[in-house]
Amino acid sequence: MSGDDTRPAAGRPDPSRPKFFGRRKGKGLKPTQQRLLSEALPRFRLSTDAPVGDPSACFDAEVRAVWLEIGFGAGEHLLAQARANPDIGLIGCEPFVNGVAKVLQAVEAEPELGNRLRLFDDDARLLLRALPEASIDRLFILFPDPWPKRRHWMRRIVGPETIPAFARVLKPGGLMRLATDHPGYLDWMLFHLTVDRAGRASFDWLDEGPSDWSRREDDWPGTRYEQKALAGVPTYLRFRRR
């Protein structure tokens, strides 16, 4: 379902925005979460109202690299990476406000994390447009919505329209990690990244066999959604920007 925020105040569709599909909000927010969204989120929000510039300069601490996670869900992976990598700046994209609120709760409990964390609570495609070329060192897209119906395939966040954007923002040699538990989406990802000309020209697939794509690396934290995915056959993919 398209979000109402694709329409400006006058009520007409904004042609500059991609059409958004998916939920913005789930069950009711607790008062503490509502407070954090209104008071804390503006401090950590990365805005695309103006060109982003060098993303490493948007953090309150000096960082040696910038990693981007698209669709961080409840934030388990994002926060685990922030805790494990004190010299990395992390940008998390998630339009689902319940997930954003959970990350803000963690930052309130561990304020140091906020020095190296920025959030984008809108459509990730808008951020991909705004980021400078070759500005991201690592990209994570873990268990995104598979949109299984054929008529919805073009809504998938990994596809022919977004792969060139991933290639544009990743630095040469930058890593991209993907994961899915949906066989059809796995085939789709591999086709567009290893067979289709645009993906094949931009990325090298680093996995060599089932022992690689059937397990996470040690520095790849798990999530609650992944625990559900383990009931199926989760696949972990690793690509390097050429």
- Binding site for substrate, by residue number, is 149, 181, 223-226
Which of 145, 196, 207, 212 is the catalytic position? 145
Which positions make up the binding site for S-adenosyl-L-methionine? 69, 94, 123, 145
Give the tokens for residue 146: 């598979």
DSSP state of 8: -
Give the tokens for residue 176: 């991209």
| Catalytic residue flag (residue 54) | no
The H-assigned helical ranges of the chain are 31-39, 41-44, 76-84, 97-109, 124-130, 163-169, 183-190, 197-202, 210-213, 224-229
Helices and strands, counts by H and E, the chain: 10, 7
Residues 167 and 202: beta-carbon distance below 8 Å? yes
Which positions make up the binding site? 69, 94, 123, 145, 149, 181, 223-226
DSSP 119-170: EE-S-HHHHHHHSPTT-EEEEEEES-----SGGGGGG-SSSTTTHHHHHHHE
Active site residues: 145
